[in-house]
Chain A
Amino acid sequence: QVQLQESGPGLVIPSQTLSLTCTVSGGSISSADYYWGWIRQPPGKGLEWIGDISFSGNTYYNPSLNSRVAVSMDMSKNQFSLSLKSVTAADTAVYYCARSPFTHYYHRSGRTSRRTNYLDYWGQGTLVAVSS
């Protein structure tokens, strides 16, 4: 069974860059069957999707964070990462990494893959506080 584990600093100074890594075990991030994303949850509040990356390196980001966020992957380590620049106190949250499946459609000329956009496995989350 796939497992995801977030890691990174628990405290970031305002205006600096938040960097987190998600290590995946029990599955390969290079698989064409899945893509990998980040979601955050401010203390006591709801969930906000940040963005994700596919095995081919295609990325999708929330426009509300688009200019500050980047998601990357290191297949050699089976890890993917989140970078969020110019953080403020509003970025204080529990950050989760998660997996999303592709759905594949097979036809005579080959295969078409479609994002399912649901999150079937999640890491346990890591709290990141932005404070001086």
Chain B
Amino acid sequence: ILNVEQSPQSLHVQEGDSTNFTCSFPSSNFYALHWYRWETAKSPEALFVMTLNGDEKKKGRISATLNTKEGYSYLYIKGSQPEDSATYLCAPSTPISSGSARQLTFGSGTQLTVLP
């Protein structure tokens, strides 16, 4: 079973602060790294899919980097806003041994609260 760790588990920041979270995963047998934002009572929203070592992706104030050799990804939020409050999940995509599909193995997430 793949061990995906996210830190911190929860985080409270003030509006305007910049913040970052970490996702660690085994670097072998890796296909892609997915980041999702999950607001309460909504569907998880896909943020980024990254595959290459050194990949950097950006979406507005949110960006992410990927290091496949050492097995980690960082998610950065610049100038946090209250609407950024959500749980941020990472999930490496790895082959499923029983077939040709790939499964997402999720970490427990980082719960971000942005205080106005």
Are A and B co-members of a single complex?
Answer: no
* A contact residues vs B (CB 8 Å cutoff): none
